């Protein structure tokens, strides 16, 4: 598995070109606005045309028919309506010879749209009301040429609509141009921030003086804040580099001296048993301190861990850590066992995995007073389980998540509360998930998963 502790630079939303940026969003917003206004206007004009055709004209034809029957009741020789837009046909006593054949089939008191003499027309058919005009018989056909309706709709609907839409389109386009120009400095600034590399910072590109000429006061304030933040970030990175470099040298040097002195003491034949035990405790403490310092230095670095990546066999590394852990259970009825069910290789800094496993082993050996600490190597995992006192769900949820959190057992045994926190942070850094489970009175199990192991 290739461990990659360096995260790729994040891409700012809205700074990915015209299609996904502010300009693209503005363009989409204006296009949707134009489309909505156009559709709403067209529907309104169409609705007005339908009302004009099916309501106003129909009502006018009904009133015209009623007026004609009243005239006919007074004057039997009254002529049927015949105007520029409307023509009437009257059939009396069942004689429909004067009525065009295409109209005779229509029932009375009905309203129709027909084609008459090659042109569209609206037809209203009526008969006299027997209650109001007793003895009066016949059937009246009133034909209104629809061409007139269409002409009215054209001149009083679609022509004004075209002019309104033209004004809306022009205004919207000018507004879009102004808006695009207004957000141009923001887009430029987003591009500069996206291209900013904390490893090789170019603070000059974020100075307010580098802004485009049309940048307003708000953009200048934003650019100044980003420039200030970038300057502080560069200072933090420089301090982090100095700290990790100095700490790596200044802390390891005295530790090496103490470790060598402890080894010399253990080789002294005249050393008492108490002194030998004390020297062994010093050597174990120095080993723990080395592991902690190395873990802290790895985690302190922003990206590069400062350790070489290489291909290594996990089984061999685990075997070394298990051998070193034997000293942690001296004087206790505890056995440290190693079960190798399978083996695999990784491409990563081996010291990172060694720090994680050593911290898990140290915790397990510290809390286990009797029984066994078992390290199992599987096809894609390393598991450390013990027969210690275990933890409740509440404590397990806090362990590794809250820095320096220690349960009752940890306090009684001198735990520092940082071991599992280091494991969690390294797990997140290198993409090796850690699963924890525990039962009171039974023990604790910690499993490190490797998503892409290299089989041997």
Task: Report the C-alpha gap between 241 and 301 in whole angstroms.
Answer: 7
Locate 234 and state its tokens: 């560069």
pLDDT tens-place values along the chain, 456 residues long: 444 444 433 333 333 444 456 667 777 887 888 888 888 877 877 777 677 666 777 888 889 988 999 998 888 888 899 888 788 989 887 778 888 887 887 777 777 877 777 777 888 899 888 888 887 888 899 988 777 666 766 676 677 777 887 888 888 888 877 877 777 777 777 777 777 776 666 777 667 667 777 666 777 777 778 778 878 877 877 777 777 777 766 777 888 888 888 888 888 888 888 888 888 888 878 877 777 777 777 777 655 555 678 899 999 999 999 998 888 888 889 999 999 999 999 998 888 898 899 889 988 998 899 999 999 999 999 999 999 988 888 887 777 554 444 555 544 444 444 678 888 888 888 899 999 999 888 999 999 999 989 988
In angstroms, the first-to-last Cα distance of the chain is 12
Q: In this predicted structure, what is the pLDDT of residue 383?
A: 96
Shortest CA distance to 15 belongs to which of 218, 178, 195, 173?
Answer: 195
CA–CA dist 92, 140 (Å, integer): 9
User: 345, 377 in Cβ contact below 8 A?
Assistant: no
Among the listed residues 291, 315, 439, the one whose alpha carbon sits nearest the alpha carbon of residue 381: 315
Residue 137: strand, helix, or coil:
coil
Q: CA 100, CA 191: separation in Å to the nearest integer? A: 76
Q: What is the pTM of this model?
A: 0.50
The residue assigned the tokens 């994680």 is: 356
How confident is the model at residue 163, as a pLDDT? 83
Q: What is the pLDDT of residue 55?
A: 74
The pLDDT of residue 370 is 92
Could you tell me the CA-to-CA distances from 190 to 177, 219, 222 in Å, in that order?
Answer: 20, 11, 11
Reported as half-sphere exposure (CB side, CA atoms, 13 A), residue 22 has a value of: 17
Please give the pLDDT value at position 402.
47
How many CA atoms within 13 Å lie on the side-chain side of 355?
28
Locate 438 and state its tokens. 């525990």
The beta-strand segments (E) located in 61-193 are 86-91, 110-116, 119-126, 139-145
pLDDT of residue 337: 94
Joined tokens for residue 49: 């045309």
SS3 362: helix
The secondary element (H helix, E strand) that includes residue 22 is: helix 22-51
| Owner of token pair 């001149």 | 155
Give the β-pairing of 443-449 and 139-145: unpaired
What residues are paired with 92 via a beta bridge? 95
- Joined together, the tokens standing for residue 195 give 């291209």
- What lies within 8 Å, CB to CB, of 435 at 6+ separation is 446, 447, 449
Which two three-digit tokens encode residue 429?
């850094």
- Strands 381-386, 443-449: pairing is antiparallel
């Amino acid at each position: 598995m290739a461990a990659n502790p360096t995260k790729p630079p994040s891409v700012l939303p809205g700074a990915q070109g015209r299609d996904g940026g502010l300009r693209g969003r503005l363009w989409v917003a204006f296009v949707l606005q134009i489309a909505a206004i156009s559709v709403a206007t067209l529907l309104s004009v169409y609705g007005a045309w339908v009302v004009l055709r099916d309501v106003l004209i129909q009502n006018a034809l009904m009133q015209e028919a009623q007026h004609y029957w009243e005239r006919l009741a007074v004057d039997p020789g009254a002529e049927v309506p015949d105007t520029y837009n409307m023509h009437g046909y009257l059939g009396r006593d069942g004689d429909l010879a004067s009525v065009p054949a295409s109209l005779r089939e229509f029932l009375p008191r009905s309203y129709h749209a027909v084609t008459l003499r090659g042109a569209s027309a609206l037809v209203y058919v009526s008969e006299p009301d027997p209650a109001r005009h007793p003895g009066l018989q016949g059937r009246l056909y009133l034909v209104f040429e629809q061409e007139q309706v269409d002409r009215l709709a054209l001149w009083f609907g679609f022509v004004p609509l075209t002019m309104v839409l033209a004004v809306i389109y022009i205004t919207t386009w000018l507004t879009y141009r102004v808006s695009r120009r207004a957000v141009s400095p923001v887009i430029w600034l987003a591009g500069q921030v996206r291209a900013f590399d904390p490893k090789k910072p170019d603070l000059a590109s974020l100075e307010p003086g580098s802004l485009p000429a049309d940048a307003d006061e708000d953009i200048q304030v934003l650019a100044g804040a980003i420039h200030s933040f970038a300057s502080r970030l560069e200072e933090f990175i420089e301090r982090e580099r100095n700290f990790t470099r100095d700490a790596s040298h200044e802390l390891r040097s005295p530790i090496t001296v103490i470790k060598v002195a402890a080894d010399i003491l253990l080789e002294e034949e005249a050393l008492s048993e108490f002194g030998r035990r004390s020297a062994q405790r010093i050597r174990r403490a120095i080993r723990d301190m080395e592991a902690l310092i190395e873990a802290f230095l790895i985690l302190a670095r922003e990206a590069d861990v400062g350790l070489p990546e290489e291909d290594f066999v996990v089984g061999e590394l685990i075997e070394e850590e298990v051998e070193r852990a034997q000293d942690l259970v001296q004087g206790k009825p505890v056995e440290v066992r190693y079960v190798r069910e399978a083996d695999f290789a990784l491409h990563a800094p081996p010291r990172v995995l060694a720090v994680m496993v050593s911290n898990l082993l140290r915790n397990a050996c510290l809390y286990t007073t009797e029984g066994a600490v078992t390290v199992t190597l599987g096809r894609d995992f390393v598991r450390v389980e013990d027969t210690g006192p275990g933890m409740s769900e509440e404590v397990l949820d806090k362990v590794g998540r809250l820095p320096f959190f220690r349960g009752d057992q940890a306090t009684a045994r001198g735990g520092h509360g940082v071991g599992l926190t280091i494991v969690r942070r390294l797990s997140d850094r290198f993409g090796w998930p850690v699963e924890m489970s525990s039962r009171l009175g039974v023990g604790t199990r910690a499993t490190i998963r490797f998503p892409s192991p290299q089989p041997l």
